[in-house]
Amino acid sequence: MPETSSRLEVFPNSAISYMARLAEQYRAINLAQGVPDFDPPSELLAAAERAIRGGHNQYSPSWGSFRLRQAISAKHSHFSGLEIDPDQNITVTVGGTEALLATLTAITDPGDKVIVFSPHYEAYIVDSRLLDAQIVHISLHPPELTFDPDDLRLAFKN
């Protein structure tokens, strides 16, 4: 089996994966992931079965089905007062981690700065490193998680 790319050597194991393994090892409740210990509501299961039996069982376009993008666009337009075009302004991803990587890939070039408020979701750092972006940390101060505006100004200047 081929070895993985050397660029991956700088990435630590995921804290979420580590916590999931510990929870399994000690038979603890896993609060690191969305792993419910109950079945979905019967109404949801019935709706999923109807959709599958009704022919909605194929891959959608990689940017999301038009009906879903249209519904998201309508809701966002309603609440924001902005005109949101489902074809030009909406992309559906399988989760926040994919959305973050896709967004950073689209808007950063190697060497660009990515300002990250800390504490943060670990994917911000992993994705930024993967894209060869410079990470600039801005500390959030408990308990209100405020930050020093001068730190943010300085991050944009440097």
Average pLDDT over residues 31-44: 86
The span from the CA of 156 to the CA of 158, in Å, is 6
Q: What is the pLDDT of residue 73?
A: 97
Residues 130 and 99 in one domain: yes
Residues 128 and 104 in one domain: yes
Residues 100 and 85 in one domain: no
Residues 69 and 80 in one domain: yes
Residues 97 and 155 in one domain: yes
Residues 84 and 97 in one domain: no
Task: Report yes or no on 99 lying in a domain.
Answer: yes
Residues 107 and 148 in one domain: yes
Q: What is the pLDDT of residue 141?
A: 96
Structural domain of 73? 61-92
- State how many domains the chain has: 2
- The yes-or-no verdict on residue 34 having pLDDT over 80 is no
φ and ψ of 4, to 5 deg: -75, 160
Residues 98 and 87 in one domain: no
Task: Report yes or no on 39 lying in a domain.
Answer: no
Residues 124 and 152 in one domain: yes
Please report which helix (H) or strand (E) contains residue 17, including its range: helix 15-25
Task: Report yes or no on 70 lying in a domain.
Answer: yes
Q: What is the pLDDT of residue 140?
A: 97
Q: Is the dihedral of CA 57, 60, 64, 70 positive or negative?
A: negative
Average pLDDT over residues 92-100: 91
The span from the CA of 99 to the CA of 84, in Å, is 18
Average pLDDT over residues 118-125: 91
Task: Report yes or no on 36 lying in a domain.
Answer: no
**Mean of per-residue pLDDT scores for the chain:** 91
Task: Report yes or no on 41 lying in a domain.
Answer: no
